[in-house]
Amino acid sequence: MPTTLSDAERHANMQQDTFLGHPKGLFVCFFTEMWERFSFYGMKALLFLYLIKYHLFTDEQGYNLIGAYGALVYAVPVVGGLLADRYLGMRKAVIFGACLLVLGHLGMAFEGHQAARVAGEVVRDEGALQVFYFSLALIIMGVGFLKPNISTIVGQLYPPQDPKRDSGFTLFYAGINLGATLAPLLCAYLGETYGWKYGFGLAGIGMLAGLIVFIRGQKYLYGVAEANDPEKLAKKRLGISTEVWIYLAASLSVLLIWGLVQTHSLVLQLSEMLPSASPVLWTLHGISLVLAIGIGWFMLKHCNKIERQQMTALLVFIVAGLIFFGLYEQTYGSWVAFSDRVMDRNMLGLEWSAGQLTFLGAFFVISLSPLFAWLWPKLASKGLDPSKPIKVALGILFAGLSFLVLVLGIQTPLESGLVSIWYLVLAYLVLEIGELLLSPIGLSAVTELSVKRVVSLMMGAWFLGTSYSEILAAELSKLAAIDTHGGVISDIPSAMQLYEELFIFSAQIGIAMAVVFFAISPLVKKLMHQQAAA
């Protein structure tokens, strides 16, 4: 891999090697991330149901675990992004992350014995559970190294003012959602129909495909994702290079996460008295504190007034993202439980499984994207394009409204007493309008509003916001925790009532927060200092 070329020379080489008008490297990133998200969402679609039905977790324990997993999986990218920036370079970080992910996802396919109720007590296969927690830890670390860096590589493929960059990112986002659409359809179907291990196993095979794509395609990156300072990386301490030290430290940290991910459910029982006793939460708070001090210090010492105000606006967007995804991530918690337990899942002549239906989110992202791509320029030409802070407020509003659609479904049940599946479809449609209003804005706000020197740190802060969202989503879902027997409920009407209360509360949060963000939007717009704030 030639590392002595300048960026301009690398880009010039890349321009000679294109496909559909984009550097071939884009398609390497597209397929790698498509497979990574395939494995990620295929596994996520099954996770809650697997815990409840196979290991006989209570709802509360299940939500705690998916909250802890989700929180850690989006906290580690903060570190993974920084390490790649300073030492490893993105290409090596992606390969390392992908290897951990293959191991983690394949490890999930080991299910051990199903838990059983013996004399009123649940007896679980503790050994198999340890393998499961360890696999989750590998996935958490793997995502931490892969996810932030594969996106940064996409940005590096284009010279600074290249107008193709945006369409490159749009294509990349389509790859993410293609993986996320196919995964639940295939993995959850296999997992729920033939056996959990087949679903998890397929996710693992998908990730293996991603690793192979990246290894074979890395030559098309033309050196743009290499370490900034290869000498620093090769420097030996105690006979071991910095690069190997990083891999060792990360592998040791997998052990730490292994412990952390399983303490959550145990300690949270204690946390009813002590709300922040969960070690996972402490970990998040710790990372946030360091990040907040770093960002605060940077803003005070190194930013001029305009930069400071732009960074402040960015922090507002990060909080908005946190709230939005706090509602959104319930799709893998309470929405899955709701669809599994109180919904008639027949649609278009097929019976859909609850995990499978999580495909609807990414499916609507893909279907609605062209509409938005057409709408924004159209509105802009009439001067009606809403500002970014307004779009973000609208995004949160739509998230709130999606829960109202479910409430409507509960209030107008079918003759069987169950909720019609079409309300879930409609709720996803409304939610995804929200995602498309908010998520691309958030990502572009990071790259536009952040002072360039700290952009990967701010990207980390955006992901960290999502970590808190996962905790928030789990805590909200827990409001509708039900005592089930391996996921089977006896009293459907009272379950429906519980879900109705949760969904009304979630809608209230969304609508109230949207009002707040509408109210502060003029101020945020001012802080952004943008000519055309669209």
Question: For binding to ligand PHE (CB under 6 A), which residues are involved?
Answer: 37, 176, 325, 439, 466
Size of the chain in residues: 534
Closest to ligand PHE by CB, 44 or 197: 44
Closest to ligand PHE by CB, 174 or 303: 174
CA distance 304 to 313: 14
Question: 121 forms bridges with which residues in the sheet?
Answer: 118
CB of 463 to ligand PHE, least distance (A): 7
> For residue 349, is it left (φ>0), alpha (ψ between -120 and 50) or beta?
left
Amino acid letter at 125?
Answer: D
CA distance 393 to 511: 9
Helix H or strand E encompassing 343: strand 343-344
CB of 63 to ligand PHE, least distance (A): 18
Q: What is the CA radius of gyration of the chain?
A: 23
Distance of CA 335 to the CA centre of its chain: 16
Q: What angle do CA 470, 332, 442 make, to 5 degrees?
A: 50
Pairing of strands 343-344, 419-420: parallel
Closest to ligand PHE by CB, 196 or 463: 463
Closest to ligand PHE by CB, 73 or 186: 73
CB of 200 to ligand PHE, least distance (A): 18
Closest to ligand PHE by CB, 73 or 527: 73
Closest to ligand PHE by CB, 459 or 481: 459
Tokens of 117: 């109720």
CB of 48 to ligand PHE, least distance (A): 16
CB of 45 to ligand PHE, least distance (A): 13
Amino acid letter at 374?
Answer: W
Closest to ligand PHE by CB, 173 or 517: 173
E strand map for 82-213: 116-118, 121-123
Residue 460 near residue 295, CB atoms below 8 Å: no
DSSP state of 413: -
CB of 142 to ligand PHE, least distance (A): 14
CB of 8 to ligand PHE, least distance (A): 30
Closest to ligand PHE by CB, 37 or 91: 37
CA distance 275 to 496: 28
Closest to ligand PHE by CB, 339 or 358: 358
Residue 111 near residue 227, CB atoms below 8 Å: no
CB of 40 to ligand PHE, least distance (A): 7
Positive or negative: CA dihedral 180, 184, 185, 191 = positive
Closest to ligand PHE by CB, 143 or 481: 143
Q: Which of 278, 385, 209 is nearest to 63 (CA)?
A: 278
CB of 470 to ligand PHE, least distance (A): 9
CB of 176 to ligand PHE, least distance (A): 5
CA distance 499 to 511: 18
Closest to ligand PHE by CB, 278 or 466: 466
Residue 69 near residue 140, CB atoms below 8 Å: yes
Distance of CA 344 to the CA centre of its chain: 28
CB of 37 to ligand PHE, least distance (A): 6
Q: What is the DSSP string of 230-271?
A: HHHHH-EETTEEHHHHHHHHHHHHHHHHHHHHHHHHHHHHHH
**Inter-CA distances, 408 with 307, 327, 419, 498, 500, Å:** 45, 18, 9, 14, 9
